[in-house]
Homo-oligomer: A and B are copies of this chain.
């Protein structure tokens, strides 16, 4: 692998130092981002990658280690290394934090109420870093846990990255799986901001609770491998029989 720069060479001041394994890592991440390595598929062995990039196997391993720690890859001893996919387990434990009070974790059902394509309003454009006049696809759905409606969810994504999403029939329950599988868009990270708010009348009616009852408002911004905003999602959650689980380590 052609090393980008080396300290002590060239005589110029060394602005920074980028370890070889990080250069390797970036190239491999780019392969996933470009769709060259697809979600769920196996990638070449450590030795194959090392040979291809003219780098030692240990260096490749360190790159893969970091990518595994970031949930981009999944290793299976004796089998190989795979590109992480947004299967039910990953969504459930990595991206879905609402849990039944009795402790049972399950993936919520979805009932889609509306899907539309429209020009982004000011807030959507700002949150998704879109140019004026860009379009978004909006989805409104209800989600149930243990048979009871628990969440009223409004979603907005850039229409340009998800062509014809509004014509999907039906909209699948696992949206991140769709983003990856059909559009090659990998949701790598998300930031959630939580508030307790009085439930608006419309959502209260849909969820079968009294208007004004305290609900948990989750404002989530999801980004792809390049840090680009991919989805803005606002979820109103009942927390009378559910709670949001957060582990601090």
Q: A interface vs B, CB < 8 Å? A: 69-71, 94-95, 97, 99, 188-198, 214-217, 219-220, 237, 239, 243-249
Give Cα distance in the complex from A220 to B97, angstroms: 15
**Extra 12 A-B pairs, beta carbons < 8 Å, given A70-B249, A189-B247, A194-B245:** A94-B249, A97-B248, A99-B193, A190-B248, A191-B246, A191-B247, A192-B248, A194-B194, A194-B239, A196-B214, A219-B243, A220-B248
Q: How far is the CB of A201 from chain B (nearest CB, A)?
A: 15
Task: Please give, as numbers and ranges, the residues of chain B lying within 8 Å of A99 by CB-CB distance.
Answer: 193
Task: Please give, as numbers and ranges, the residues of chain B lying within 8 Å of A237 by CB-CB distance.
Answer: 196
Q: How far is the CB of A61 from chain B (nearest CB, A)?
A: 12
B249 close to A193 (CB less than 8 A): no
Task: Please give, as numbers and ranges, the residues of chain B lying within 8 Å of A245 by CB-CB distance.
Answer: 191-194
Give Cα distance in the complex from A49 to B79, angstroms: 34
Give Cα distance in the complex from A189 to B95, angstroms: 20
A249 close to B189 (CB less than 8 A): yes
Give Cα distance in the complex from A99 to B219, angstroms: 14
When the two chains form the complex, which single residue of B95, B215, B220, B248 contacts A196, counting CB atoms closer than 8 Å? B215
Please name the residue on chain B nearest to A69 by beta carbon.
B69
Residue pairs across A and B with Cβ atoms less than 8 A apart, 12 shown, are A97-B248, A189-B249, A190-B247, A192-B245, A192-B246, A194-B194, A194-B245, A195-B216, A195-B243, A196-B217, A216-B216, A244-B246
When the two chains form the complex, which single residue of B189, B195, B214 contacts A248, counting CB atoms closer than 8 Å? B189
Task: Please give, as numbers and ranges, the residues of chain B lying within 8 Å of A220 by CB-CB distance.
Answer: 248
Known A197-B196, A243-B195; judge A248-B95 contact (CB<8 A): yes
When the two chains form the complex, which single residue of B69, B193, B215 contacts A214, counting CB atoms closer than 8 Å? B215
Q: How far is the CB of A29 from chain B (nearest CB, A)?
A: 14
